[in-house]
């Protein structure tokens, strides 16, 4: 009996549609790219990142140490991630069935992590001045 190769076998007409798509990994030069390549500043997200980075650096006085610069960078990126996640929350909603959506979970985690980074920079919660009880009761 002669051997039949895979090339000689007839293919099912729907085989291409049933085939799993090949996984493609998109890289940008690997891990070393983080050290040598600059951040692409042409996108709207990159411009917003740069604007917020400068605002936070100015708020902290401008002359930051290397660790402070890293924390500022993390805080800005986490803030952008929270904004993106919030956009997904507006699209997907907060609850899906009996559980919260992944977008909402991502938003909560990003804001929590951003708050922790900002606290490391020394940004503290401001207390609101408390009104005297007599003044409060007299107010219309």
Alpha-carbon torsion 123, 89, 108, 42, what sign?
negative
pLDDT at 110: 94
Is 35 inside a domain boundary? no
Is 123 inside a domain boundary? yes
Give 32 or 119, the one with higher predicted confidence.
119
Q: Place 1 in a pLDDT band, splitting at 50, 70 and 90.
A: low
Is 6 inside a domain boundary? no
- Would you say residue 115 has pLDDT above 90? yes
Q: What residues make up the domain containing 123?
A: 41-138
Is 52 inside a domain boundary? yes
Is 88 inside a domain boundary? yes
Mean pLDDT on 17-32: 54
Is 26 inside a domain boundary? no
pLDDT at 20: 61
Is 83 inside a domain boundary? yes
Query: Which tens digits make up the pLDDT trace of 34-83?
Result: 455 556 677 888 889 999 999 999 888 888 899 999 999 999 999 999 99
b/e string for 8-18 if b means 16 or more Cβ within 10 A?
A: eeeeeeeeeee
Is 90 inside a domain boundary? yes
- What is the total count of domains within the chain? 1
pLDDT at 131: 82
């Amino acid at each position: 009996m002669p051997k039949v190769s895979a090339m000689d076998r007839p293919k099912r007409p729907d085989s291409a549609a049933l085939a799993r798509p090949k996984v493609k990994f998109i890289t940008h030069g690997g891990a070393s790219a983080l050290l040598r390549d600059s951040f692409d500043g042409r996108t709207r997200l990159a411009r917003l990142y740069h604007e917020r980075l400068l605002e936070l650096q100015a708020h902290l006085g401008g002359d930051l140490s290397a660790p402070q610069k890293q924390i500022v960078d993390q805080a800005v990126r986490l803030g952008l991630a929270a904004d993106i996640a919030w956009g997904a929350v507006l699209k997907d909603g907060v609850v899906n069935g009996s559980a919260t959506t992944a977008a909402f979970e991502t938003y909560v985690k990003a804001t929590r992590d951003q708050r922790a980074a900002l606290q490391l920079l020394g940004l503290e919660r401001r207390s609101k001045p408390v009104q005297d009880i007599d003044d409060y009761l007299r107010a219309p």
